[in-house]
Amino acid sequence: MTIHKEGRTLLFVLLLVFVGIIWVSDYYFSDVVRNIIIGVSAIFYLIVLQFFRNPVFTVSKNAKHVIAPADGKVVVIEEAEEPEYFKGKRKQISIFMSPFNVHVNRMPVEGSISYYKYHPGKYLVAWHPKSSTENERTTVVAKMNNGTEVLFRQIAGALARRIKCYVQQGQKLEQGQEFGFIKFGSRVDIFLPLDATVKVNIDDVTKGGKTVIAELS
């Protein structure tokens, strides 16, 4: 387990702030109030710290498997229109990430990036039906070695107001490799070919880089 690079500066600044607050409390508050301040500061710091945790593990790669791009809960499984890139029907699987999930985003398949676009937008709650088309988001398409393309979309939520996506068009990435990070609660949509076999159910808990969410023909 490591601390993700997106959180290191924030965690250092927070640590300095909390040390300063505790130091000031020594002079201006009673021991009881000071202990409460220390307790609240420690709890808040641990909450932020766990958000930026970055598990280290070996990915079991399989060209036919689509693995979860994020930790979270499956909230959508349906055939849906994908108007931005495919402009047609695809199988959609959506994973909601709470503030307590690991927020590293990982490649669901191996492939080269055939499309990437960032969209500014609103900050509706991530489970809102219109969040996929109206919220701040990035759209990434990976083209596999057999020509199959898989689209995945990072979507900001009411709390997640900073999406980080590290890919570039033409870049080749391995299955399970980190491609992005979303801060403080969000959602990831995956659009698959219609003949893909879905391996998860609504409300299933997923682990990014580990859970097989679908199998490709």
Find how far residue 171's CA is from the centre of its chain.
20
The b-or-e profile of 94-107 (16+ CB within 10 A means b, else e) is: bbbbebebbbbbbb
Helix or strand holding residue 101 (H, E): none
Q: What is the pLDDT of residue 134?
A: 65
Q: What is the pLDDT of residue 196?
A: 96
Mean pLDDT of 46-60: 81
Question: What is the model's pTM?
Answer: 0.82
**CA within 13 Å, CB half, 25:** 18
pLDDT at 87 over 90: yes
Nearest one of 109, 114, 191 to 151, comparing CA atoms: 191
Of the candidates 60, 131, 186, 217, the residue annotated as catalytic is 186
Q: What is the pLDDT of residue 122?
A: 66
Q: What are the DSSP E strand ranges found in 83-136?
A: 88-97, 104-106, 111-119
To the query of whether residue 186 is one of the catalytic residues in this protein, the response is yes
Listed range (10-19, 64-73, 84-93, 125-134) with the worst mean pLDDT: 125-134
